[in-house]
Structure 1
Amino acid sequence: MVQVSERRPVGRKKLAAILAAAVVLLSGCSPLDESELKRLALPIAGSDRSEPMWHLWLGAWITTLVVFVVVFALILYAPIRYRRRRGEEAGPSQIRYNLPIEVLYTITPVMIVSVFFFHTVQAQSTMLEDVENPDHTIEVVGSKWQWTFNYLEPEATDGETVYDQGDTEHLPDLYLPVNESVEFQLTSPDVIHSFWVPEFYFKMDVFPGSQDNSFTMTPNREGTFTGRCAEFCGIYHTRMLFNVHVVSRDEYDAHLEELEEAGQIGRPQGPSEATKIAGTPDDRGE
């Protein structure tokens, strides 16, 4: 009679130790770290709305890592644990129509998705919280294919509204004061665009017509960032870029005065101004 070697149980303690070490390693990451690896490929955070998005992103990484380790361990475990050994005439018995197992691999993904959904809604609610009486109000006009930023601060510019504007060849500039709340009012004269500054960990669609979106946030890190349109809006979508300058309050006020002196007074809404596209023979966007 041939004796079959005793099968050793899987190293659950080792697997748990690996998962615990990985979770501890990820928990040491930060959105403000200079290392891109420790920021988990995100840019350095630059607004007060970055924290809830960071926690959501970190949780997604931890969940993905746990699922990967468990699934990969099972892939390795199954052929080793149930390989045919010398003296055995057949492999392991096949399991089909096993109700508990079928319920397990049906319920588990539903639970994971439900947890993701819950935390996504929670982060979204936190990021969309309004600030009463924001320090500044800026109207963002997205059009084919450029951005216009109207600074609705008549008290800082002798009762006038000034604006920054550019096109696909000369990118517009958006100036924001650091550590002061800003309400962004988003509107479009043509198609759906999306206002996105990666360092703010936040974006919102810009709708045409009467449906205007708005949100409030506080930039909390000085620097120059690149904003962009995150919604495919036409052939020159990739050129819808703009520069974001987060500066001190004195620099912000000085910029508004420069716009007033340069004659950039008014509140452009896009249709008549959004006609220039760099690289075309007549520089018209028709």
Structure 2
Amino acid sequence: MKWAVLVVAAVVMSGCSPDSNSDLKRLALPKGSSDRTDDIWELWLGAWIAVLVIFLVVFGLIMYSAARYRRRHDDEIPPQIRYNLPIEALYTFAPVIIVAVFFFHTVTSQNRVLERVDNPDHTIEVVGSKWQWAFNYMDEQAAGNENVFDYGTPQDPAELYLPVDESVRFVLKSPDVVHSFWVPEFYFKMDVVPGKINSFDLSPTREGTFTGRCAELCGLYHSRMIFKVHVVSRDKYDQRMAELKADGQVGAPAGSKEANEIAGVEGEDKTGRVDKVQSGAGDYKDGAGD
């Protein structure tokens, strides 16, 4: 019976897909929207299958023990055993094997997800600061070879535009505390660490508007540190870049001034003048994360 249930469950799960419109068939994941979703999906599906197998084995042993060693009608107490070496060995080594298998597949999926693109179509510098996001389009240059940027605030979240089916390298930096750049539909997130440059590559594969978040508890307005991701056609992407240039949102590679400040915090310099606290995010050098 146990194996029959397992076979039926495996057949049912074989119909699951990250592209399905059904939440049940996606196993509670959002609909996949990047070229890195397949590896994460396979890991997620494998974890569900492993959990199901472990549940059936443990539940089966519990039911077997309750039925096999229950008290009989003659009210005789079953033999009491202090320990059982084979069972104790099983309970010791089985979890180690399970964790090792999970670890192997996690590292394998991670390595595939972090594979680099030789020549990405776009490079976007992401600056996460308390409590806002700034996006610097490093290959979109205006007059004077200045890069195009966009940024937001907790009251007015930033908007990131990406062309569909074109590779993007995200370069992550922070001027203050640890943040985490996360777009659930991309099945990917990475920490944004002060003093360290992290980066990753992916290609959006589905047009739409998604909500990105900071996935690291970063302070008072962490819950409002969100941004919108617009995956659009190349024509609409070029139109958006032209709008940013027309609005004068061009600047140094570090992007807007606001991207290098702690939003809403003021400090006093040695002359007694009160100014915004500068963080110098643009001075960080590319580290091992790139």
Q: Give 2:163's aligned residue.
A: 177
SS in 1 for 2:10: helix
Mapping of residues 129-140 of structure 1, within 5 Å? 129-140=115-126
Q: Give 1:152's aligned residue.
A: 138
Distance 1:136 1:271 in 2: 22
Is residue 90 of structure 2 the alignment partner of residue 101 of structure 1? no
What displacement does 1:88 show?
5.5
Q: Give 2:240's aligned residue.
A: 255
CA-based RMSD of the aligned residues comes to 1.6
- TM score, norm. by length of structure 1: 0.88
Which of 207, 211, 224 pairs up with 2:193?
Answer: 207
Aligned residues: 262
Distance 2:65 2:159 in 1: 58
Q: Which has the higher mean CA deviation after the structures are superposed, 122-131 or 76-85?
A: 76-85
Q: Which of the two has greater strand per residue?
A: 2
Q: Is the 8 A contact 2:250 2:256 kept in 1?
A: no
Distance 1:127-1:112 versus aligned 2 partners, 3 A rule = same
What displacement does 1:85 show?
1.9
Distance 1:154 1:86 in 2: 83
Which of 224, 235, 242 pairs up with 2:209?
Answer: 224
SS in 2 for 1:184: strand
Distance 1:78-1:97 versus aligned 2 partners, 3 A rule = closer
Q: Which amino acid aligns with 1:274?
A: A
Q: Deviations over 1:121-142 (max 9, x none)?
A: 0010000000011000000000
Q: Give 2:281's aligned residue.
A: none
Q: Deviations over 1:234-265 (max 9, x none)?
A: 11111100000000011111100000001111
Is residue 23 of structure 2 the alignment partner of residue 17 of structure 1? no
Distance 1:88 1:229 in 2: 61
Q: Deviations over 1:20-42 (max 9, x none)?
A: 11111112100010000110000
Is residue 260 of structure 2 the alignment partner of residue 275 of structure 1? no
Structure 1: unaligned runs, 5 residues or longer: 1-13, 277-283
Q: Is the 8 A contact 2:131 2:224 kept in 1?
A: yes
Q: Give 2:270's aligned residue.
A: none
Structure 2: unaligned runs, 5 residues or longer: 266-275, 278-290
Distance 1:143 1:103 in 2: 50
Distance 1:183-1:205 versus aligned 2 partners, 3 A rule = same
Q: Give 2:21's aligned residue.
A: 34
SS in 2 for 1:118: helix
SS in 1 for 2:102: helix
What displacement does 1:18 show?
0.6
